[in-house]
A and B are shown apart, each in its own frame.
Chain A
C-alpha cells in the first residue's frame, strides 16, 4: 500500500473521530448525543465485565445417563463405569479417572470405540468397600468446550463426608476475547463487502472512478477498514487456536504456543477442522484483497470484482462458525439447525455488519457535501441499505425463533435457566435495535408514514442515530457472545436413572452375570462376568448371540473379548427394537462349550437417544424461516416472473413438465419404498410360529434326548447333513415345520408336543457346521 493510502487513511480516521456530534446528529436531537455518550462507556463496561467475569459452564453437551448414578450405593463394585453424553466427544482429549478416598488413581478410562458419545472405564477387580470418586474431563466435539466434574459412588455403605463436584466449566476469558474479536471483525468484513456491492456502488457508483467505481477517499476508507478487520480476524483466530490448545491440554498460554501442541488441536479435532476451513477462506479473501490494493492503479478494473466476490467467501467464513455452534449439537435435525444458524449469521452480517460499515464509511463519503447534497447522498445509501436491513431483520428474527425452539421446550426454560435469561437479554437488545431501525425506516419514507411525523421529527441528520444503532448493535453482539457461552437447558428426560438389565445364573460351580448397557434399543455393550467363589475366572472362550424370538431373528455369534478380572466384553447394535430378547452365552475352555440363556424385556425408555423427532414448535418455527426466506426472495422471483414469456404454449409445457416430474418423482419414491418393504418382508417375514422355549442348557439337553428318540432316521441321512449346512439360513419356524412335516428326504419326527419340538429346534441350532 502506498504512502498516499496511509496518509489518506490517517486523515480519514482523524476526521471521522473528530467529527462534531452536533453536526452529525443534526439540530434538535441532543438527547441522542447524550444517550450515545452514556451508552458507549456502558458498552465498553459490559465488554470488560464479560472478560473479567466469565460465564460458567460453557459447554453445549450434557450428561444423558450415568452408570452408576451420582452417589449411588452399590452392594458390589461395578464392573465398569459408563457415562453417555448428548454429543460426541473428542476422543484424544477426554478422560475419566477413578480415585479412591485417598486420591489415588485406580483406573483410567476413555471414549468408547463403539460410541463416541460414551465414556467408559473398566473398574479394577476386588474393589473393597468404600467411597470412590470419578473424575470426568469431557471435551465436546461440536465446540471444543471442556467440562470437568467429579461424581461419587459407594460400595458397601454411604460415607457422609465424600461428595463430587458439579461441572465447573467456566468460560475461558481468552475465549470471550477471541470470540468478540472474530465475531465483530467477521461481521464487519461481510458487511463491508455486501454494503460495497449492494449499496455503495448502486447508490453512489460511477465509472468515472476507475478503481472500484467510488471516489478515492471512499475507497481508501474501505481499504483501511477491510485491512484492519482482516488483521483483527486473523489475530482472533490465532488466539482461538491457542486458547483451544490451553483448554484441551490444560496448559498455560506459554505452553500452548508450542507448535507440537497446537498442531495436534488443529489437525485432530473438529474445532481444528472448522478453524482450518476458516483460515483457508480468510486467506482467499486476504489474497484477493491484497491483489486488488496492489493492482488498483495498474489494473483498476479488478477492484470492484474482488470486493464483490469476497462477499461470497465471507459467507463461507460465517458458515464455519455455525459448524461449531449450539446448532451442531442439536438433537433435532442438526443439519437444518446448522443451515438456519448460518442463515442467522448471514442475516446479522448484512444487518449489523452492514450498519457498522455504513457508519464507518459515511463520514468519508459525505465529506465534500453540505445541506441538500449531503442529505441526498445519505438518503441514496440509506434507502438501499434499509431494504437489505428489513429483509435481514426478517430472516434474523425467523431463524432466531427456530434456533430458540431447539432449546426452549417449556416456559421454565426461558425464565428459569441461564440460557433463557441470556436469550431474553439478547431479545431485549434486539428489540431496541429494531426500534431504532424502524425509526430510520419511517424517517426515510416520511410521506408513507405521515402519521408518525412527530416521532421522527428529531431525526434530521441520521448519522447520530445510526451511531446510536451501532452502539446498540455492539451490545447485541456482546449478548450473542454471552448466549454462545451459556449452556443450553438440559431436557427433563436427560440423566434419568434407568437400571440396565442384568442377571446372574449358575453354571456348574461358576457364577455368570450378564449386563446389557444401557439396555435399550441401539448400541449396547454386553458384559459377561464369570466368577468362581468370588474369584474371577480367566482364560475362557465366551461368545454371545442376540435373538429376537418374535421376529425369528438371531445375530451372528459375537466373540467376547477378555479384559481381565473375569470380565468378557462385546458390543453392537443388535438390539434394534423394544420387546422380548434373548442373549445366548456359550462359554468354556477349548472346544467344550456350555450354554446359558438370558431373557430380557427391553424397554424403549432405556435407549440413549442423541437425536429426536422435531416437535410441533420446531416445525412451526421452520415454516416461519421458510416463509421469511420466501418473502425476502419474492421481489427477485417477481422480477423473474415478469421477464418470463407466458404465452399459452410455454405455460402448458412448463406446467405439464413440472407435473410430470413431480408425479414421476413421487411414483419412484413410492415404488422404491414398496420394493424395500417387500425385500425386507421376504428377507425376514413374520414367523408363522414363534419359538416359546428359551434355549438354555436344560432345553438343549431335552432337545437332544427327544431328537435321538423321535428322529431316529435323521442322523444317518445325507439330507440331514445338508440341513446342518443350511442351518444359518433356516429360521426357527422352518425347523419347527421340518420336524413336523419333514424336510427334503427327511420325514417328520414322531409324536412331539409343541414344547418338545421347540426343544429339538434349540438343540438342532447347536449342530450347525
Chain B
C-alpha cells in the first residue's frame, strides 16, 4: 500500500511522514500528561532551614517568593 505523502515530500524515506507524525503524537501526549499532572502536583516541601534565624520557608534549595 502506498502512503500519501503530505509531509517532507517523502524525501527522508518512504515512512518519514509516519515517523514525523508519530513523534508529534508522542510529544502532544506528553504535553497532555504534563498538563494534568501539573494541575494537581504540589511544589516540593520546604526544606529545613540551614540557618535557624531564617524563616521556615527559606533555604538554599527552596525560597517561597512573597
Contact = CB atoms under 8 A, between A and B. Distances in A.
A270 B64 contact: no
Nearest to B30: A312
Interface in A313-327: 313, 315-316, 319, 323
A142 B62 CA distance: 46
B35 A380 contact: no
A305 B28 contact: no
B65 interface: yes
Given A273-B8, A309-B35, A376-B54, A207 B42 contact: yes
Interface in B1-33: 7-9, 11-13, 19-20, 23-24, 27-28, 30-32
B63 A316 contact: no
B43 A201 contact: yes
B22 to A, nearest CB: 12
Contacts of A365: 65
A319 B64 CA distance: 35
A316 B62 contact: no
B45 to A, nearest CB: 11
A305 B8 contact: no
A204 interface: yes
Given A308-B38, A309-B32, A377-B63, A372 B54 contact: yes
Contacts of A213: 43
A111 to B, nearest CB: 12
Given A277-B20, A301-B39, A313 B28 contact: yes
Given A201-B43, A215-B65, A373-B58, A312 B38 contact: no
Interface string B38-66: 11001110000001001000111111111
Interface in A291-306: 301, 304-306
A595 B62 CA distance: 87
Interface string A616-650: 00000000000000000000000000000000000
Contacts of B66: 215, 368
A564 B60 CA distance: 82
B39 to A, nearest CB: 5
B23 A203 contact: no
A335 B36 contact: no
Interface in A218-235: 218
A499 B30 CA distance: 54
Given A202-B44, A277-B7, A308-B34, A335 B62 contact: no
A51 to B, nearest CB: 30
A340 to B, nearest CB: 14
Contacts of A274: 8
Nearest to A215: B65
B26 to A, nearest CB: 9
Chain B's interface size range is 20 to 34
A328 B20 CA distance: 13
A141 B5 CA distance: 15
Given A203-B62, A218-B65, A373-B58, A335 B34 contact: no
Interface string A503-528: 00000000000000000000000000
A319 B38 contact: no
Contacts of B44: 202
A335 B12 contact: yes
Contact of B63 (A88, A197, A312, A380): A380
A334 interface: yes
B65 A309 contact: no
B52 to A, nearest CB: 13
Contacts of A204: 62-65
B38 A305 contact: yes
Contact of A202 (B8, B11, B62): B62
Nearest to B50: A376
A377 B42 contact: no
A207 B51 CA distance: 24
A482 B8 CA distance: 25
Nearest to A381: B63
Contacts of B8: 270, 273-274, 323
A376 B59 contact: yes
Nearest to B24: A316
B23 A376 contact: no
B38 to A, nearest CB: 4
A278 B43 CA distance: 32
A379 B58 CA distance: 11
A381 B66 CA distance: 15
Given A116-B11, A312-B34, A206 B28 contact: no
Contacts of B51: 372
A270 B11 contact: yes
A373 B63 CA distance: 9
A383 interface: yes
B30 A205 contact: no
Contact of B58 (A306, A310, A315, A376): A376
A311 interface: yes
12 contacts: A142-B11, A197-B34, A201-B43, A202-B62, A206-B43, A213-B43, A305-B34, A305-B36, A308-B38, A323-B20, A335-B13, A335-B19
Given A273-B7, A277-B20, A312-B31, 14 more contacts: A116-B11, A202-B44, A206-B43, A208-B64, A213-B43, A269-B9, A274-B8, A306-B35, A311-B34, A312-B27, A316-B28, A323-B8, A334-B12, A338-B12
Task: Report, nearest first, the 7 A-B pairs whose CB atoms are least far apart.
Answer: A312-B31, A380-B63, A205-B43, A308-B38, A309-B35, A305-B35, A204-B65
